[in-house]
Amino acid sequence: MTDPTPETLVVADTRARLGRAVTPVVVGADHVLDAFVIALAVGGHVLLEGVPGTAKTLVADAAARALGARFRRVQFTPDMLPSDLTGTMTMRDGELAFRPGPVFTNVLLADEINRTPPKTQSALLEAMGEGQVTVDGTTRRLAAPFLVVATQNPIEYEGTYPLPEAQLDRFLVKVEVGYPPAEVERSMLDLRRSGLAPTALGEVRPIVAAEAAGETVGAVADLTTALRAEVDATTLTDEVADYLLAIVRTTRNLPAVEVGASPRAAVHLMAASRAAARLAGRAYVSPDDVVGVAPMVLRHRLVLRPEAELERFRPDDAVAAAIAAVPVPR
Ligand SMILES: Nc1ncnc2c1ncn2[C@@H]1O[C@H](COP(=O)(O)OP(=O)(O)OP(=O)(O)O)[C@@H](O)[C@H]1O
Ligand SMILES: [Mg+2]
């Protein structure tokens, strides 16, 4: 295979600059930042799963600041209504006016998405899928870019509403945020703090040059357009397309799997593989790019058989089995 010299390095460069911008505040966030850039570049959304206190909120906040993007955080609660997200019509000076909800932003941190009932979850998922919301019969477009970073706690406790598979399928990637290695956790203690609060958060500077805060949002839209253009221009050979599709289709035939990955998953895997190639500074997709992103693209879409779950077989094991079953193109 030829190795065309990448004419641009927008994706790789954005990722590197993002990493540098957040270093004063967060350690060990490489996987999350990779996912963030991949999702931004292809217009997908990120699901973060991890126990409390693993910097899920902090990374999303810091990365949004570094992009110079508008950022909103919504704590999902059992009593939340769809209109708390999308907005409502209110009377203002005797006239009915639209008061936009927090969904009108660039980066929306949907914290603890599984603590809200299905009706509110689907309002968010509709916004994610359509890039628009309908309030009182009027359809309103969301901002561009619009990136949802949703978090959920892996431990299901009383009063949670696990996202149905159909809704999980809409997330481009699911990143499992675990405990950092000892030396990384140790370096976390050296970050600047005042009491409990990380003090450097306010110092995270946008990686896109902008004069006024108002222009910053235009800059992030321009950056997103450039990221998208670079990803779209990434070469994907027939062999690699066959390869990634074979992995997706194999998940449907594994004995441990009840419901395998959807055709939508194949599209997501292709787009994420292209973005991963660019992250590595390459203009073509290699089988390794596919293998690298397959776990985070596929793990949340597989429903395992109860017997397999009892044997502690995990979705990642199923993804690994599917990868192992498909010959790598040469
Ligand atoms: N990797 C890390 N780098 C820097 N600080 C960290 C890291 N992990 C945890 N912390 C510290 O822990 C605090 C809590 O992090 P954060 O609120 O982002 O966790 P969370 O994963 O969102 O938790 P929850 O699930 O409870 O919302 C941070 O403010 C920071 O001080
Ligand atoms: Mg949090």
Atom 11 in ligand 1: residue holding the nearest Cα: 55
Amino acid at 50: G
pLDDT at residue 216 in the model:
57
Sequence spans of domains, the chain: 10-229, 234-325
pLDDT at residue 2 in the model:
44
- Separation of CA 24 from chain center: 22
Q: pLDDT tens track of the chain, all 330 residues?
A: 444 444 579 999 999 999 999 999 999 999 999 999 999 999 999 999 998 899 999 999 999 889 989 999 999 999 999 999 999 988 888 888 999 999 999 999 999 999 999 999 989 988 998 899 988 888 999 999 999 999 988 876 667 888 888 889 999 999 999 999 999 999 999 998 888 888 888 888 888 865 444 555 678 999 999 999 999 999 999 999 999 999 999 999 999 999 999 999 999 999 999 999 999 999 999 999 999 999 999 999 999 999 998 899 999 999 999 999 999 998
| Nearest 10 degrees: Cα torsion 19, 25, 31, 37 | -50
pTM: 0.93
Same CATH fold, 234-325 and 10-229? no
Report how far ligand 2's centroid is from the alpha carbon of 48 (Å).
10
Strands (DSSP E) contained in the chain are 46-50, 71-75, 87-92, 95-100, 107-111, 132-135, 138-141, 147-152, 173-177, 193-194, 197-198, 257-259, 303-304
Beta strand pairing status for 173-177 and 193-194?
unpaired
Report how far ligand 2's centroid is from the alpha carbon of 161 (Å).
18
**So what's the architecture of 10-229 in CATH?**
3-Layer(aba) Sandwich (3.40)
Report how far ligand 1's centroid is from the alpha carbon of 170 (Å).
26
- Which residues have C-beta atoms less than 6 Å from ligand 1? 26-28, 50, 52-58, 180, 188, 191, 198
Report how far ligand 1's centroid is from the alpha carbon of 326 (Å).
38
Atom 12 in ligand 1: residue holding the nearest Cα: 53
pLDDT at residue 158 in the model:
67
For residues 225 and 66, give the distance between their C-alpha atoms in angstroms, rounded to a whole number. Answer: 17
For residues 123 and 103, give the distance between their C-alpha atoms in angstroms, rounded to a whole number. Answer: 10
CB atoms within 10 A of CB 39: 24
pLDDT at residue 156 in the model:
66
Atom 27 in ligand 1: residue holding the nearest Cα: 52
CATH of domain 234-325: 1.10.8.80
- Ion ligand 2 — residues with CB < 5 Å: 56-57
